[in-house]
Structure 1
């Protein structure tokens, strides 16, 4: 007979929303409404941390900087963030969502985090993919981790997962979960393996495993002005393995996982001789990889 498990310190039902927002000024209201409707579904199924994709209110395939600017909004004063704030306050949940941010003449690909207490913070995408470089500026806020009532939450966006420094720095600052907001786009084949996973799925699994942190990765599906998207959203556990299934390449769906969020804090200690933070050779490299935006948080 198995001994009873310890009660969860921070029980959380995570929901990752995979859907198909479309670009264009006329599509903005319907994108926002669709994302909120799916988030309502997640709430009805008990979720208290919901992750929407990158640029989920605007779509992805801008025709140029003029259109990107027209679709962008200030953060947190803009209408989308205000709607997400109201939603989170009403339902007493946390929500991460992607938005095109406008600050003066500058544009950023931004992830925002809101909760029952309102707007919590934002992250601006550090690593820009392909044509994103033509309208967005690289992020300048570093890699913040936000303290919440359910645990410490970090944010990253899409192409960031190809840079192992990003999840590592979030983990070093004490993130219990990383919300990964994505528009993983089709690239030259092969795109999927026999199990239906794409490379981004495996990079997410690897990042979760190497850093012993939960990662909730929300991608989009469908086509947007000729760009095709990979789906394959997932929620990875602290050991890297997906908690449940990896979403298909074409379905609009919501994935769920029930986790004890702060259990990530003890996950790096595998046994008496293997402790991931302790085993790092910080005598050979900088403990925070040269990162100076935020001090290392105690684990």
Structure 2
């Protein structure tokens, strides 16, 4: 990857929800690259992350989102190797390194790592900023072999108030579950930052436009909830698993702000957005908006969460 300053024409810009008012203009960056698993690759991965954080800062990004498990790789051979890649949050060296970088450059970073808390391991996204560690989110929906070493998240869906806006966190497969982004939106998130490792699944991997299903689900969640969503994916192959790429920054209307990254690109996408645009009502007609028209009086018993009866499948 060439970390040199990119042309201004390559910075995508979203439309303001309130003409003439930009309450919180922020340049968002999502990083897409190829980390690799293995203790022997930890130093290489950390260097690659630092280079891309530096490139994003040089291009004036204020909020930078890294892929899932960007410093460790993803395809662990078993529990022993997963533990060997783990560290505590927030006191471990990876998070403390991000804290120091964020303070030095006055930026916010969303990263993701293997967190060890006693005997338990979590796939954990963290948010750090100019004033230090802000908070974490432990992935609640675990994919495939993750269930053999990670514990599902147990702390809910937090939204963090920051100087640039309200930031919610998800990780990868979480975006398949519409309840997760909906909860963050209802809790007031302006942007949902999602580190991902979208892995190859049975074909078709992409449609004719080169876009994978996960990218469409990200756009759908942004549209349905009137919220910005970033998806920072990885690329490459690792121990027989391939990864999708297609990182993107979805606007509050669901459409990508700028382009969707290709399936093999080592790149950083940028978008200039007003984070607080997510707070304006998404009025689709004079009589409709998505949040106001929800029938919350009916949903709970039909879904079977409490007191209702879900249909067997």
Q: Please state if 1:9 is matched with 2:40.
A: no
1:10 touches 1:151 (CA, 8 Å); kept in 2?
A: yes
1:53 aligns with 2:81: no
The alignment partner of 1:278 has SS state of coil
Residue deviations 1:40-94 (CA, integer Å, cap 9, x gap): 1011011000000111110001010100001000000000000000010000000
5 Å-filtered alignment, 1:173-188, equals 173-188=187-202
Counterparts of residues 58-207 of structure 1 (less than 5 Å): 58-207=72-221
CA distance in 2, matches of 1:32, 1:138: 26
Give the ranges of 4+ consecutive aligned residues of structure 1 lying more than 4 Å apart after TM superposition. none
CA distance in 1, matches of 2:72, 2:281: 37
Q: 2:225, 2:291 within 8 Å by CA — same for their partners in 1?
A: no
Distance in structure 2 (CA, Å) of the matches to 1:232 and 1:214: 16
Q: Equivalent residue of 1:285, what SS?
A: helix
Is 2:307 the partner of 1:273? no
Helix, strand or coil for the counterpart of 2:208? Answer: coil
- Report the TM-score when normalising by structure 2: 0.89
What displacement does 1:275 show?
Answer: 2.3
Contact preservation (8 Å) 2:65, 2:111: yes
Q: 2:115, 2:210 → 1: CA distance? A: 33
Cα distance in 2, alignment partners of residues 267 and 183 from structure 1: 32
**Gapped runs of 5+ residues in structure 1?**
292-299
The total of aligned residue pairs comes to 288
Q: Conserved in 2, the CA contact under 8 Å of 1:238 and 1:267?
A: no
Name which of 43, 47, 59 aligns with 1:33: 47
The CA distance in 1 between the partners of 2:283 and 2:277, in whole Å, is 11
Q: Unaligned 5+ residue runs, structure 2?
A: 1-17, 306-313
Q: State the 1:286 CA deviation.
A: 4.4
Contact 1:205–1:240 at 8 Å: present in 2 too? yes
Indicate conservation of the 8 Å contact 1:145/1:175, yes or no. Answer: yes
Between the aligned partners of 1:191 and 1:91, the Cα distance in structure 2 is: 38
| 1:218-262 deviation digits (Å, cap 9, x = unpaired) | 000001111110000000000000011100000100000000000
